[in-house]
A and B are shown apart, each in its own frame.
Chain A
Amino acid sequence: MTVVFYLIAALTVAGALAAVLLKNLVHCALAVTVAFGGLALLFLSLDAQFAGFVQILVYIGAVAILIVFAILLTRGSDVPKDGVFSPTWLTGVAIAAAVFAVIGWAVINSVNAIPQQAAVPHVTVHDIGIALVGPYVLPLEIVALLLTAATVGAVIVAMHEKGGSE
């Protein structure tokens, strides 16, 4: 537990909290980008360089841009007059707090029982590439199929309906 870990953790959690609490949706998108970046830094601090850079490329480079596009296309940057939280917000907060309490209690009580390896694992991008086309080739192909289907599906869903009522 170093100072760097606490700094990155505080940045990540602050970004996530701001994303959930801010009123303007554009500010929320910026805050969630900060949270994604903090998570990428956490991955890097865990010696998972490849996962960290994939996180930066996919989340900051693609998902954050997609979210901003969706906000602008739906004119979500106007702050609604009757509040941004649902009328049943107390129930939602209570459920989230209960989930946090249960999982956090389980983590605190069980983490010392897990054997932990302190040595830094030596894993290069070369190893990950060999593993992706070796033992993990079937999941890789399935993910390729899923991404193709998702791209086509997203375009079809968001496409203009011909002869619609609007």
Chain B
Amino acid sequence: MTPLGGYLLIAVLMFAIGLAGALVRRNAILVLIGIELMLNSANLNFIAFWRYGPHPEALTGMMFAIFSIAVAAAEAAVGLGLVIAIYRHTHTTEIDKINRMKG
């Protein structure tokens, strides 16, 4: 196994764990945590390919990872704001109990 392969496998494992968390858990905050884990594994892929790619001085993978971190932070703020707004309305954060479109 080459070093790049090791990092890519860790990223795949993190992505699968995050996907399982987003699909399996009932709490909306845990779904957001799963999405954050998936975004992080994508960042690990960007950095690994930047490190072992043919032109690391071009900084492409590094830039993509930095912008991805910024977008993920914005997503986390809006997502958790939505969870708090829904909780104020329905007094629950469990997704399978939020099954009405009319408040």
Q: Report which A residues bind B (CB closer than 8 A).
A: 1, 5, 9, 12-13, 16-17, 19-20, 25, 28-29, 32, 35-36, 39, 42-43, 46-48, 50-51, 54-55, 58-59, 62-63, 66-67, 69-71, 73-74, 76, 80, 83-87, 89, 91-93, 95-97, 99-100, 103-104, 107-108, 111-112, 114-118, 121-123, 127-128, 131-132, 136, 139, 143, 146-147, 149-151, 153-155, 157-158, 160, 165-166
Contact flag A114-B25 (CB < 8 Å), given A17-B17, A32-B33, A121-B57: no
Encode contact with A along B19-43: 1 for CB under 8 Å, 0 otherwise.
1110111110110111011001001
Q: Does the CB pair A107–B81 fall under 8 Å?
A: no
The number of residues on chain B lying at the interface, defined by a beta carbon within 8 Å of a beta carbon of chain A, is 74
Chain A residues in 8 Å Cβ range of B54: 115, 117
Q: Which of B34-78 contact A (CB under 8 A)?
A: 34, 36-37, 40, 43-44, 47-48, 50-54, 56-57, 59, 62-63, 65-67, 69-78
Q: Does the CB pair A116–B20 fall under 8 Å?
A: no
Chain A residues in 8 Å Cβ range of B67: 139, 143
CB distance from B27 to the nearest CB of A (A): 6
Complex: how many Å from CA A42 to CA B7?
Answer: 8
Complex: how many Å from CA A32 to CA B32?
Answer: 11
Q: Does the CB pair B25–A20 fall under 8 Å?
A: yes
Chain B residues in 8 Å Cβ range of A54: 66, 69
Q: Which residue of A lies closest to B13 (CB)?
A: A13
CB distance from B100 to the nearest CB of A (A): 14
Contact flag A74-B29 (CB < 8 Å), given A59-B40, A86-B24: yes
The 10 closest A-B pairs by CB, nearest first: A92-B23, A121-B56, A100-B16, A150-B74, A96-B20, A20-B21, A154-B81, A111-B5, A158-B81, A92-B24
Q: Does the CB pair B96–A86 fall under 8 Å?
A: yes
Contact flag A151-B77 (CB < 8 Å), given A42-B10, A51-B62, A117-B54: yes
Q: Which residue of B lies closest to A9 (CB)?
A: B10
Q: Does the CB pair B17–A116 fall under 8 Å?
A: no
Q: B98 contacts the other chain (Cβ, under 8 Å)?
A: no
Q: Does the CB pair A43–B47 fall under 8 Å?
A: yes
List 22 A-B pairs, Cβ < 8 Å.
Answer: A12-B14, A13-B17, A19-B21, A36-B40, A39-B44, A54-B69, A59-B69, A66-B80, A67-B29, A70-B29, A97-B16, A103-B16, A111-B2, A112-B5, A121-B57, A132-B63, A136-B63, A147-B70, A154-B80, A157-B81, A157-B82, A158-B84
